[in-house]
Amino acid sequence: MTRTSYAKALDNALCPLGFAREGDNWIRVRGDLWECVNRQSSWLGGVTANLLMKDLETEKLFLEVFEPNGSVQMPPIDTRIGTLIDGCDRWWKNDEPNGPTELAEAVLRYGLPWFDQVRTPEQQAENWYGRKTALSDRGYHGPSLVGLALTLHRMGETQEACEVLRKPAPKTAIPANLERVAKVREWLGCGGEATRGTPQG
């Protein structure tokens, strides 16, 4: 079997469900959510599938804050099909006779339900951006803080968003992340400055 067989199998499985193929990506939009099945090929490993997802309304806020760079600042949430199957990476060989069918079936069985697990901004805040732990002293991850803050703002929770953006940063915080957090804090009109604290794990 050639690698095109995998593409054809994914075409047959996904196009009837509203996905449109763009190169190695099969994309559909449901409501505010962009969903993508990506075929990744390797001459050494074979073929696998990645699942990616983002909220287009939140992306609009990223674009408003960061302008053209906003789409880079907000990468999609992603996982790999093997992770969904059994927690292990999984590649189907290029010459595996049943590989295309097995991969397409795995995407339908394990991948499509993944797209349904997180739909609302409230679910995104919790599952994608760690709302429950954002204000704890468990690490400082600038991109997650920005994503959470803009999602909370969409939910009408701007005060909580500002609290998230004022989280003390460790001395080891990446300067670019501090700049992103400060930019969103300014855009939201939070006022006040975050402080640098002690390094956090």
The domains of the chain are located at 3-56+76-117, 121-197
Please state the pTM of the whole predicted model: 0.86
Neighbours of 159 (CB within 10 A): 12
The predicted-structure confidence for 79-138, as pLDDT tens digits, reads as follows 999 999 999 999 999 888 899 999 999 999 999 999 999 999 999 999 999 999 888 877
Q: What is the pLDDT of residue 24?
A: 96
CA distance 24 to 30: 20
pLDDT over 60 (residue 163): yes
Question: In terms of Cα–Cα distance, which of 195, 24, 8 is closest to 101?
Answer: 8
* Residue bearing the bigger pLDDT, 193 or 52: 52
Alpha helices in 26-130 (DSSP H): 56-66, 70-73, 81-86, 99-106, 112-117, 121-127
Question: In terms of Cα–Cα distance, which of 22, 28, 18, 76 is closest to 7?
Answer: 22
Q: What is the pLDDT of residue 73?
A: 83
Note the Cα 74 to chain centre separation in Å.
8
Q: Alpha carbon of 24 to those of 51, 110, 178: distances in Å?
A: 12, 19, 35
Judged by average pLDDT, the poorest of 17-21, 45-49, 193-197 is 193-197
Q: Are 87 and 68 in contact (CB under 8 A)?
A: no
Please compute the mean of the pLDDT values over residues 156-164 and round it to a whole number.
Answer: 97
The predicted-structure confidence for 9-29, as pLDDT tens digits, reads as follows 999 999 999 999 999 999 999
